[in-house]
Chains A and B, each alone.
Chain A
């Protein structure tokens, strides 16, 4: 069965950095695009970033462009999110999510359990 397990969350000061990871199993990771989606405490869902099956294209929500970098290692079945220049409004649970397609972002058919990132001094 498909499993997505996030790690790397924690408390960081404003302006700091954090790297999230997602370990994937139960499917051929290199055949699918992947996403990061976040949810601020008590709020709705917000798509953050997308990466194609081969890492060739990446897209970001405007609020994180230039600060966050999505990457993947198909040899290790892992998805990462490097988060720099963190702000208080980046505080959220971050979910790793699988896309059902290879190339274009369409949906999220499987989700991880999420990892909490808290940006606070």
Chain B
């Protein structure tokens, strides 16, 4: 199974400052069809998860452009250019390249300092 390791586990951030979350995979997430099926999800307190980014860097409809995804192969990053209060929650990376099973990272908790 593909293991996704996120860092840091906890990320205290000052409002208006940038934040960055790393996701490392135990094997390359490049699929034989040329796509890399790496996704990012946000889970605000008490809410269901919401997809932010798919295929490494594609933002979902309605996701603010302060969120961006990058990376390749086994190393990926989610960046928030300027953290807002609404961004508090847990962020998960997830891979859909090698399955079953589909796997998630352990999560990164973003909180305001």
Stretch from A9-17, A43-51, A73-81 contacting the other chain:
A43-51
**Chain B interface residue count: which class?**
20 to 34
Contact B96 A107 (CB under 8 A): yes
- Give B92's nearest chain A residue, CB to CB: A45
Contacts A45-B104, A47-B102, A47-B104 given; does A113 touch B96 at CB 8 Å: no
B103 touches which one: A47, A60, A104, A107 (CB < 8 A)?
A: A47
Stretch from B14-22, B43-51, B73-81 contacting the other chain:
B43-51
**Chain A interface residue count: which class?**
20 to 34
Distance between A66 CB and nearest chain B CB, rounded to angstroms: 14
B39 CB–A CB distance under 8 Å: yes
Distance between B6 CB and nearest chain A CB, rounded to angstroms: 9
Contact A45 B100 (CB under 8 A): no
Provide the bound-state CA to CA distance between A39 and B103, in Å.
13
Among B39, B60, B94, B96, max chain A CB count under 10 A is at: B96
Contact B48 A113 (CB under 8 A): yes
A114 touches which one: B39, B48, B51 (CB < 8 A)?
A: B48
